[in-house]
Structure 1
Amino acid sequence: MGPPLLRRRPGARPRPRGDRADAGPGAFAGRLPRAPGRPRGGEPRDPDAPRGRRRRSSRGARGRGAPPGVREGRLRLRLEAAVRVVYVVETLQLSGGVKDIVEQAEGLLRRGHDVSIVTREARHPWIEVRVPVTVVPAFDETTIPEADVHVATWFPTVVPTVRARKARKVFHFSQGYEALYPNTFHRLDEIEEAYQQPIPKLLLSSNLAAQFGGRFPGRLHVLGPAIKVGLYAPPDPDRTARRDPPTVFVVGPFGFSIKGVDVALKAVRALREEGRPIRLLRASQLPLTEEETALCPADRYAFEASVAEMARSYQESDLLIHGSYPEEGLGLPPFEAMASGTPVVMTAIPSLDLLPADSVSRARPGDWEGLAREAARLLDDPALWAERRKRGLEVVREFDLERALDRLEAVLFSEEPA
């Protein structure tokens, strides 16, 4: 069934027999989640570089400043070894979902856990992966390594991970319900089998919880979006005026219907037809097609852009137009744009209802004319543009990766074994 959930570091004093780490489902009860925004023992010079095991904090940090419960939790953490977590990922090819998984894994590694990824396709020139990656020909009990916690991701990874029985805890991390995606309609039976596994599910949005509740077994845990706010921070946060001519950014693969890229491009075309000198910046994991160029030609097209290149593109833009349909699990571009100080015009979809009405502009799904109208309002009103930029930078702090990691740790290490 897998190794015990916690192991002592070499030389650590054993605890009394009545407080054994593997005594039951409450084994992680002492692993207190970090308070939002509070660093663990100081940040490394490179905030994105994992530190491995936690360093012991100074004497002052261990003592007077922390409440008794927190001090006890820290002492237990110092006595226990890192928890081994393995993410089972179909591919590391470019996508927002893979980026989210990699950042989760690296975040847990920075917090002192032993984290790795096992995958069937490890090509990832677009992102630096700072956790160990193992490439396997297939997922089964011979290729999925033992761990304390397994996190299955895209639906083809779920059943093999459960059947491998190589960890005491197995979770299904769902970033969107694949049965709604046109490109997976031919695999509905596989998707159903994956979601019917009686294991807890980690979800990116409450919209998914509403879809799954009462339909699929296993507890549902909403983690919410997670953004490395510092990565996208604009070099000029106090700027209050857009550039002239304005740059509009549209992100996502053209032709993947639920992304609504064609809707966003029609909005840009309408703005141009009204006489506005719009500079269009596009980014996609797919090559540029003649069909897209005929619809609305881009001034610059970023194919398979790296994470760092994407951050710069957001910072160079004056507006993001995001045209997703309700089937989208959770689109990250609006959050990344807000973190960059770029105002957002987007379609009103359930998974993005958590963004306050005064932080973004919305139009109905599929309504390119509405998107164009809202975009024109922002571009033509300097005060409104400046207010949206300021408000976006404020709101997005609530979705910082560290806060999501607090929630993730609390779930992974307190959930009863599946």
Structure 2
Amino acid sequence: MAHAVKTFDGPVFHLCQGYEADFSFNVSFKAEIEAAYMLPTHKLAVSHHVADRLKSLGYKPVSYVGQTFDPDEFPPAVNRKYKSYSPTILLPGIFESDVKGIRESLEVLAQLRQEQRPFQLLRVSTWPQSESEKAILPADKYSVRLSPPEMAAAYQTSDLMIGPSHPEEGFGLHVLEALSSGLPVLISDTPGHRHIARQAAEYFKWHERQDLLLKLKNLLQNPLRLRELSRMGPLEACRFSTAKVAAKLITLFNQSME
């Protein structure tokens, strides 16, 4: 980015999917990250809470542009049926990235299994399953680097998705994809998730494992609520589109050239 600012004779834009200096695993790079954000670039945020965070730190200009998305890539399952016995719970995300909240969710699911409540755990990640993760709770199925069609199939064949990201997460794309697929979601109560799902989700307090456990038990025992969430999800997902983002970008690009 510094090279672009130095060599390009024109406006430079910085797409921001999250403020990386807030991530604990980036602590050794925090100074470099902050220096990059201080460069004279126009910050483009994919979510409102990221835009607000950047503005609160004094970075400017900052514009909210939204998240590109094509709902047709993640269609709802036809005649979705929920397994009352041994439902499939989808948990996507990188275990090693603490902002994803995977460790806490696995610990809760391990407790649920200890209580003799049957379920199948489907884990999806871009990284292979680590021994540390297996020690908490080995997945019944673990998939790595799924393509969009494969991910769509995972949403359609699951009964519930847990989205446990912390507030620092920039945009919960898995949540949006699940909503579009008609898959009920139980997600952490963060500004980013509220922006995506609004009323089409069940929420838990992101820092409280017992709240997640309680909400999970209640939801798995409530097929009517699961069906209601399944109906609501695709309607919320349709609020997001690539065309809307493209229109905002074109407007900003044109304004920068005036």
TM-score (norm 2): 0.92
Contact 1:338 1:389 in 2 (8 A): yes
Residue 194 in structure 1 maps to residue 40 in structure 2: no
Equivalent of 2:69 in 198, 222, 227 = 227
Give the distance between the partners of 1:175 and 1:357, measured in 2 at CA: 20
Using the TM superposition, give the Cα deviation of residue 160 of structure 1 relative to its aligned residue in structure 2, in angstroms. 1.8
Using the TM superposition, give the Cα deviation of residue 183 of structure 1 relative to its aligned residue in structure 2, in angstroms. 2.3
Deviations 1:158-179 (A, max 9, x none): 21221121x5331000111111
Give the distance between the partners of 1:303 and 1:341, measured in 2 at CA: 22
Q: Which residue of 2 aligns with 1:178?
A: 20
Letter in 2 for 1:161: A
What's the secondary structure of 1:255's corresponding residue?
coil
Equivalent of 1:376 in 197, 213, 217 = 217
Letter in 2 for 1:397: C
Aligned Cα root-mean-square deviation (Å):
1.9
Using the TM superposition, give the Cα deviation of residue 353 of structure 1 relative to its aligned residue in structure 2, in angstroms. 2.4
Change (3 A) 1:217 1:245: closer
Q: Which residue of 1 aligns with 2:171?
A: 330
Q: Which residue of 1 aligns with 2:236?
A: 395
What's the secondary structure of 1:375's corresponding residue?
helix
What's the secondary structure of 1:353's corresponding residue?
helix
Q: Which runs of 4+ in 1 moved over 6 A?
A: none
Greater helix share, structure number: 2
Q: Which residue of 2 aligns with 1:386?
A: 227
What's the secondary structure of 2:11's corresponding residue?
strand
Give the distance between the partners of 2:257 and 2:43, measured in 1 at CA: 13
Give the distance between the partners of 2:23 and 2:17, measured in 1 at CA: 12
Residue 164 in structure 1 maps to residue 4 in structure 2: no
Using the TM superposition, give the Cα deviation of residue 273 of structure 1 relative to its aligned residue in structure 2, in angstroms. 2.7
Contact 1:270 1:369 in 2 (8 A): no
Give the distance between the partners of 1:324 and 1:260, measured in 2 at CA: 5
Q: Which residue of 2 aligns with 1:207?
A: 49
Contact 1:170 1:200 in 2 (8 A): yes
Residue 301 in structure 1 maps to residue 142 in structure 2: yes
Give the distance between the partners of 2:197 and 2:141, measured in 1 at CA: 31
Give the distance between the partners of 2:58 and 2:32, measured in 1 at CA: 14
Letter in 2 for 1:310: M
Contact 1:195 1:216 in 2 (8 A): no
Using the TM superposition, give the Cα deviation of residue 217 of structure 1 relative to its aligned residue in structure 2, in angstroms. 4.0
Residue 260 in structure 1 maps to residue 101 in structure 2: yes
What's the secondary structure of 1:168's corresponding residue?
coil
Give the distance between the partners of 2:144 and 2:230, measured in 1 at CA: 27
Aligned length: 257
Q: Which residue of 2 aligns with 1:312?
A: 153
What pairs up with 1:237-276 in 2 under 5 angstroms?
A: 238-239=79-80, 241-243=81-83, 244-276=85-117
What's the secondary structure of 1:346's corresponding residue?
strand
What pairs up with 1:114-193 in 2 under 5 angstroms?
A: 158-165=1-8, 168-193=10-35
Stretches of structure 2 that go unaligned for 5 or more consecutive residues are none
Letter in 2 for 1:242: Y
Using the TM superposition, give the Cα deviation of residue 219 of structure 1 relative to its aligned residue in structure 2, in angstroms. 1.8
Give the distance between the partners of 1:180 and 1:368, measured in 2 at CA: 22
Deviations 1:74-119 (A, max 9, x none): xxxxxxxxxxxxxxxxxxxxxxxxxxxxxxxxxxxxxxxxxxxxxx
TM-score (norm 1): 0.58
Deviations 1:243-274 (A, max 9, x none): 34311011111121111101121232233233
What's the secondary structure of 1:351's corresponding residue?
helix
Using the TM superposition, give the Cα deviation of residue 182 of structure 1 relative to its aligned residue in structure 2, in angstroms. 2.0
Contact 1:321 1:371 in 2 (8 A): no
Deviations 1:323-373 (A, max 9, x none): 111121222111111111111111111222214552111111122221222
Give the distance between the partners of 1:356 and 1:249, measured in 2 at CA: 17
Deviations 1:44-97 (A, max 9, x none): xxxxxxxxxxxxxxxxxxxxxxxxxxxxxxxxxxxxxxxxxxxxxxxxxxxxxx
Stretches of structure 1 that go unaligned for 5 or more consecutive residues are 1-157
Deviations 1:268-299 (A, max 9, x none): 22332333221100011111112211211111
Give the distance between the partners of 1:274 and 1:217, measured in 2 at CA: 49
Contact 1:260 1:366 in 2 (8 A): no
Residue 279 in structure 1 maps to residue 120 in structure 2: yes
